[in-house]
A and B are shown apart, each in its own frame.
Chain A
Amino acid sequence: MKFAIALFAPPHAPSSRRALRFAEAVLAGGHQIVRLFFYQDAVHIASSLPVSAQDELDLPAAWRSFVTEHNLDGVVCIAAALRRGVLNGEEAQRYARASHNLEAPWELSGLGQLHEAAQDADRLICFGGD
C-alpha cells in the first residue's frame, strides 16, 4: 500500500518522533511512502542548524538519515519555510540572505505537493500535536 505522511509540529514535539517511528514501520511492513510533507512548524525538522543535547535524540538528523537512506521524497512547504527562516541556497540568493540552512535531501515546494501526494497514496497520515 502507498502512504503519504504529513508533519505539522516542530522537531522537539513528541509527534515528530512518532511520525518517524511510524514511517519506519510503514517501510518495515513492506509498504511504500510516496511522499513526506513537512508543513507549518515541521519545516524546522529540515533545517541543518538545530543542535540537540548530547543525551537526546537528534530528530532532524534522524529524519535526514531516514530520507537519504530510503531515497524518499522529502518535501518542505516553501511558504511555511521562508516565513520561518528555513531557506535553501536558491532562496537565500533570491531574497539576498547571507546564509542558508536547507540542503539535500530536502526539497522546497508548494502545498500542491501535499494535495498530489494525498491523491497518489492509499492513505494520508498526519502527525502534529503533543
Chain B
Amino acid sequence: MATLHLLSRSPFTDTSGASCLRLLGPGDGLLLTGDAVHALQPESQPFEVLRALPADRPLFALAEDLDARGLSTPDFVKAVDYAGFVELTLRFERTNSWL
C-alpha cells in the first residue's frame, strides 16, 4: 500500500525526516510542509539526499510554505496548493504524519 508521508519539522533541528526516509518505500510519496521545506535549501545535505531519491518516490512541497521562506521549487519536487494537498491524500492509500 502506497503511503504519503507528511513532514512538518526542519531537518536541521529534528530527526523525523531522516527516520521517514528509512521507511520510504517504492511508490511512497513525501510531502514537505511547514519548516520541513527547509530541506530544499540548495546545496544543503538534506537537499542532496532528497535529490538522490529514486524517481518512484515522488516528492511534494506545500507552495505557501516554500513562498513564505523564499525557497524555489527544485525540478525534482512538485509544489502543491491546499487543493493539491487534498488530492495527494486521496491518490495515496494512507497518510502518515510525522508529528
Contacts and interface: CB of A to CB of B under 8 A. Distances in A.
A123 B97 contact: no
A8 interface: yes
Interface stretch (B22-30, B41-49, B51-59, B86-94): B86-94
Given A124-B95, A128-B99, A130-B34, A31 B86 contact: yes
Given A129-B16, A129-B98, 7 more contacts: A21-B82, A25-B81, A25-B83, A28-B83, A123-B89, A127-B97, A130-B10
Secondary structure of the A contact surface, majority rule: mixed
Interface of A: 1, 3, 8-9, 14-15, 18, 21-22, 24-26, 28-29, 31, 122-130
B34 A125 contact: no
B73 interface: no
A24 B81 CA distance: 12
Nearest to B8: A129
21 contacts: A1-B90, A3-B89, A9-B99, A14-B35, A15-B8, A15-B34, A18-B8, A18-B62, A22-B82, A25-B82, A25-B86, A29-B87, A125-B6, A125-B95, A125-B97, A126-B6, A126-B99, A128-B99, A129-B8, A129-B98, A130-B8
